[in-house]
Amino acid sequence: MKDPGTADRIVLIGPTLPYRGGIAQHTTMLFRALKLQCQCTALSFSRQYPGWLFPGESDQDPAYAGYREPEVKYVIDSVNPLTWRAASKRARGLNPDLVIIPWWTVYWAPCLGYLARSLARADIPVVFFCHNVIEHESAHWKRFLTRRVLQIGEQFVVHTHADEENLLREFPNARVTVHPHPIADQFPTPQGNLERRAELELLFFGFVRPYKGLDVLVEALGLVGDLDYRLTIAGEFWHGSAEIESRIRELNITSRIEVIPRFISESETAELFARADVVVLPYRSATGSGIVPIAYHYEKPVLVTNVGGLSEVVHHEETGWVVPPERPDAIADVIRAITREDAAAMAPAIDRLKNALSWPSLGRAVLGTLR
């Protein structure tokens, strides 16, 4: 039995800075929070993806070139099983009370599945932090592999009750901890470098993939008429931007939409969110989103569709607006009704919500799985 006078020993396995994207940001911030509450060691990746597989320019943030998160060991190559074995040995040698492994896409089934299984065989409890229980573009074989990996877990942590329900459908006896995604307070203070261009500034932000419904938003903007607005679309496109830009031209709204089809640095992110009045997430499907915590960090309301757990963190007409999915007319109706003053008036409600969503609180929830 663990001596109650000793500190908890945790091993966290996952991508951290300088890798970019929401998972790396999340794992980094969780590690920083856990270090203040227990003895935590993080094992990250020497390589995440082969270059031919990653659809963007690079999986590392150029703003963090050469950076290494203090006390993180960059030892795992996702395509080299010898490094998986070495990482497992390193983790076992730390004699941890718990190992935390993020789960978000089936690509990681071989690597993370091996690590989880080898640690579980050594009687080390494995907790999966599930960002996506079911992939956005799912298939039978993906569900099969996901189930094979997640069944190794002793417990689970998720950000939404929607993902809790997804887990319980697959594993009815699973022990699941739900904690909302913390506010993304790691992003910098804006300098106010971007000038406003219209009465209403809208922002669609992040990696553009089919499930995110950008085409639905574009169709909605084709319905709003003469409203004085500008939309900024900022992020890399999974399948290129030609199709959406063609539709924008067909709808004759090119002058109202700016497309920035590339990775956006943290400093640029701050400026884009500072200029925006409303952040729009017209998703077709989702469990949660890392974009909402960024918007709330900058005290910006969000217009979301009622899918997954989005409505759990967006309070209709208090911190944003919730509309049915795949309904351009519903999105258009809300956009026509919003004023800049309406959006700004939501800042106090957003600020109250921010206080309940912290990284230390998430760290305590994760450590609570030990109890």
From first to last of its 371 residues, the chain has per-residue pLDDT tens of 444 445 699 999 999 999 988 899 999 999 999 999 999 999 999 999 877 666 566 788 888 989 999 999 999 999 999 999 999 999 999 999 999 999 999 999 999 999 999 999 999 999 999 998 877 666 788 889 999 999 999 999 999 998 999 999 999 999 999 999 999 998 999 999 999 999 999 999 998 989 999 999 999 999 999 999 999 999 999 888 999 999 999 999 999 999 999 989 999 999 999 999 999 999 998 777 889 999 999 999 999 999 988 989 999 999 999 999 999 999 999 999 999 999 999 999 999 888 778 999 999 999 998 87
- 187 within some domain: no
Provide the token pair at 147: 């189930």
- 57 within some domain: yes
- 194 within some domain: no
**Do 174 and 308 lie in a common domain?**
no
**Do 289 and 223 lie in a common domain?**
yes
**Do 275 and 304 lie in a common domain?**
yes
**Do 161 and 112 lie in a common domain?**
yes
**Do 234 and 312 lie in a common domain?**
yes
**Do 161 and 222 lie in a common domain?**
no
**Do 247 and 349 lie in a common domain?**
yes
- Residue 71 and residue 43: Cα distance in Å, rounded? 9
Question: Model's pTM, two decimal places?
Answer: 0.87
Cα–Cα distance list, 261 to 57, 64, 130, 136, 212 (Å): 11, 20, 28, 21, 15
- 160 within some domain: yes
CATH number at 327 reads 3.40.50.2000
- Residue 365 and residue 367: Cα distance in Å, rounded? 5
Domain ranges, residue 13 = 9-180+357-368
**Do 61 and 149 lie in a common domain?**
yes
- 252 within some domain: yes
**Do 34 and 168 lie in a common domain?**
yes
**Do 72 and 14 lie in a common domain?**
yes
**Do 164 and 234 lie in a common domain?**
no
- Residue 292 and residue 82: Cα distance in Å, rounded? 38
- 301 within some domain: yes
**Do 241 and 336 lie in a common domain?**
yes
Q: Are 348 and 301 in contact (CB under 8 A)?
A: no
- 263 within some domain: yes
- 193 within some domain: no
- The domain tally of the chain equals 2
